[in-house]
Amino acid sequence: MSSAKDFLQAIGRDVEKKVSVEKWEDLFRMRRDDFKILGVSVQDRRYIMWAMEKYRWGAEPTDFSHEAKPKKKYRGRGPRVQHGKRVR
């Protein structure tokens, strides 16, 4: 990675649009509260912090980056609701 922006693009989830940082030092010194001030959602904050820690340990972003889970199509869990229909 040559810059912080490249790293943010590599981890995906469009976080490079939500966080505008140019230098490595600025990105890796940021804490949870700094991301909160920028208006980054909780899920994205946790994902960015998780990805930065993986990168610190030497993993490549292409190995660990993944997209967010899609929303559930059906409400409820268990035997009463299956495929969106109530089961008796």
Q: What is the mean pLDDT of residues 19-47?
A: 89
Angle between helices 4-11 and 42-56 (to 10 degrees): 110
Delimit the domains of the chain by residue range. Answer: 4-64
Q: What is the mean pLDDT of residues 49-72?
A: 86
At 13, give phi and psi (nearest 5°): 60, 20
pLDDT mean across residues, the chain: 84
| 76 has pLDDT over 80 | no
